[in-house]
């Protein structure tokens, strides 16, 4: 399927597969630029669907619904990597401009393909993936090299936010962990001596123009992102250059159009290793809503509409604090947002989710300040107000 590569102008309709908070921010960014938006998601209460012009409540592989979306939309993207690649292919075959295409998304959907892709590029990027081995059957469990222990066992597909994974201290623990994950194909990754994790959020336009946001330093709690700190505090200039070059190379090698996040580990000896790829905007880029000239979501809209990419300059030091469902469960009525909004640095973003649950991402706060120390002080004060235990 070929497409004219003229820009798409408002009020044309743009589509998004997936109705979570990433889709909600996409809808808001598209509406700010004057586009109409169609959201397809099976959830009748999806955060993105609540605010979209057109809402299709259906399974991602429902052909009747995909045809309706194709009729409405000039272009379609996806807000999370587990949307079936077949849905993207079907829309593309209907004559809709789809970005990113399924071949790029499918690599990030499968850890086997992702690790092989990163390994293949290591000769050019100078950055290897974490040492790993693939497990597809019971025989593989006893054939793994001992140097991979202790390790982290992850399902090859559909894992995120710490789900679908176990830490395994030795080969003796491996079988129980694999059975607990349902005997499905898995990857065992060697547990590395980690100094910090950083994420690179990079955008490629249809014309091969590439723009990258300032690298974020990420802090996790129980496998879920807790804080993103920008600019990254502990990153050497050499590592920063190496990561930025690698991210730009990876997005081009994927022939990827849209916003892509690549997570990297910095080891205690300074070595940089590649962790994983997310073919979409990313939680660690939520700070860009307030801290950059162009947000990652406006960038996603621009790439999808074949418009020039925006300026990614950072305008302020920023700390992004994730708000999980347990914050809501601590308070009888509502968390004390008035106390948060008394803080001049705080920019509160709530996602419109109705049911708070432990570990569920319900919102975030960006703290903007003249220095990283001041931003971090305000983030710590907010954590005290909300009863969030700091690491």
* pLDDT surpasses 50 at 63: yes
Q: What is the mean pLDDT of residues 62-86?
A: 94
Q: What is the mean pLDDT of residues 45-64?
A: 97
Peptide bond into 150 cis (omega under 30): yes
Q: What is the mean pLDDT of residues 35-56?
A: 97
* pLDDT surpasses 90 at 297: yes
Least reliable range by pLDDT among 214-218, 257-261, 297-301, 328-332: 328-332
* pLDDT surpasses 60 at 160: no
Least reliable range by pLDDT among 72-81, 137-146, 297-306, 341-350: 137-146
Kindly tell me the burial class for residue 150, based on how many C-beta atoms sit within 10 Å of its own C-beta (0-12, 13-18, 19 or more): exposed
Residue 246 CA, distance from chain mean position: 18
Q: What is the mean pLDDT of residues 26-40?
A: 98
* pLDDT surpasses 70 at 162: no
- Domain 131-190 CATH assignment equals 3.30.1490.20: yes
* pLDDT surpasses 60 at 2: no
- Domain(s) of CATH 3.30.1490.20: residues in the chain: 131-190
* pLDDT surpasses 80 at 327: yes
Which listed CATH number (3.40.50.2000, 3.40.50.20, 3.30.70.20, 3.40.50.880) goes with 13-98? 3.40.50.20
Pick the closest to residue 234 from 267, 192, 283, 186 (CA basis): 267
* pLDDT surpasses 60 at 24: yes
Least reliable range by pLDDT among 130-134, 322-326, 376-380: 130-134
Least reliable range by pLDDT among 119-133, 156-170, 178-192, 351-365: 156-170
Q: At CA 10, angle to CA 8 and CA 12, rounded to 5? A: 70
* Model pLDDT, residue 164: 67
Hey, what are 284's tokens?
A: 């660690």
Handedness of CA 297, 161, 320, 238 (dihedral sign): negative
* pLDDT surpasses 60 at 386: yes
Q: What is the mean pLDDT of residues 95-112?
A: 92
* Model pLDDT, residue 11: 98
* Model pLDDT, residue 76: 98
What is the C-alpha R_g of the chain?
21
The overall average pLDDT reported for the chain is: 93
Residue 374 CA, distance from chain mean position: 27
Hey, what are 155's tokens?
A: 């399902």
Share of the chain above pLDDT 70, in %: 97
Lateral strand order in the sheet of 97-98? 54-57, 36-41, 13-17, 75-78, 97-98
Paired residues of 17 in beta bridges: 40, 78
* Model pLDDT, residue 391: 65
CATH architecture of 194-386: 2-Layer Sandwich (3.30)
* Model pLDDT, residue 4: 59
Confidence of residue 263 (pLDDT cuts 50, 70, 90): very high
Please count the other Cβ atoms lying within 10 Å of the Cβ belonging to residue 226: 17
* Model pLDDT, residue 166: 86
Instruction: Say if strands 75-78 and 13-17 run parallel, antiparallel, or are unpaired.
Output: parallel
Between these two residues, 223 and 14, which has the higher pLDDT value? 14
Long-range contacts of 369-378 (CB under 8 A, 24+ apart): 369/316, 369/317, 369/318, 369/345, 370/316, 370/317, 371/317, 372/229, 372/231, 372/233, 372/317, 372/319, 374/317, 374/345, 375/317, 375/318, 375/319, 375/345, 376/229, 376/319, 378/319, 378/343, 378/345, 378/346
Please count the other Cβ atoms lying within 10 Å of the Cβ belonging to residue 270: 10
Helix or strand run (H / E) with residue 317: strand 317-324
**Per-residue DSSP letter, 129:** B
* Model pLDDT, residue 83: 86
- Domain(s) of CATH 3.40.50.20: residues in the chain: 13-98
- Domain(s) of CATH 3.30.470.20: residues in the chain: 194-386
């Amino acid at each position: 399927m070929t497409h004219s590569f003229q820009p798409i102008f408002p009020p044309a309709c743009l589509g998004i597969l997936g109705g979570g908070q990433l889709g909600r921010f996409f809808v808001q960014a598209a509406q700010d630029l004057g586009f109409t938006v169609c959201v397809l998601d099976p959830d009748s209460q999806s955060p993105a669907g609540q605010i979209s012009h057109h809402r299709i409540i259906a399974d991602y592989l429902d052909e009747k619904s995909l045809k309706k979306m194709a009729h409405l939309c000039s272009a379609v993207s996806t807000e999370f990597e587990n949307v079936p690649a077949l849905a993207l292919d079907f829309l593309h075959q209907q004559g809709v401009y789809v970005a990113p295409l399924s071949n790029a998304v499918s690599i990030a959907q499968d850890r086997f393909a992702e690790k092989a892709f990163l390994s293949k590029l290591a000769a050019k990027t100078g950055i290897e993936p974490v040492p790993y081995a693939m497990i597809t059957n019971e025989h593989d469990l006893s054939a793994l090299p001992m140097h991979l222990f202790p390790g982290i066992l992850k399902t090859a597909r559909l894992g995120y936010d710490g789900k679908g994974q176990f830490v395994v201290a030795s080969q003796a623990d491996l079988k129980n962990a694999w059975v607990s994950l349902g005997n499905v194909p898995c990857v065992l990754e060697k547990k590395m001596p980690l100094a910090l994790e950083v994420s690179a959020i990079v955008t490629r336009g249809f014309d091969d123009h590439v723009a990258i946001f300032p690298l974020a330093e990420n802090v996790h709690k129980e496998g879920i992102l807790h804080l993103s700190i920008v600019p990254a505090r502990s990153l050497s200039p050499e590592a920063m250059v190496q990561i930025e070059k690698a991210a730009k190379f990876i997005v081009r090698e994927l022939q990827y159009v849209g916003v892509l996040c690549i997570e990297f580990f910095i080891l205690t000896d300074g070595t940089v290793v590649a962790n994983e790829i997310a073919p979409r905007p990313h939680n660690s880029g939520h700070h860009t809503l307030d801290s950059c000239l162009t947000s990652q979501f406006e960038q996603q809209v621009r790439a999808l509409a074949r418009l020039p990419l925006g300026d990614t300059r950072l305008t302020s030091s920023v700390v992004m604090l994730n708000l999980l469902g347990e914050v809501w469960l601590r308070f009888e009525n509502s968390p004390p947002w008035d106390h948060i909004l008394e803080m001049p640095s705080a920019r509160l973003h709530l996602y419109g989710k109705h049911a708070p649950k432990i570990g569920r991402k319900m919102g975030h706060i960006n703290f903007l300040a003249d220095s990283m120390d001041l931003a971090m002080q305000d983030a710590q004060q907010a954590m005290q107000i909300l009863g969030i235990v700091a690491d």
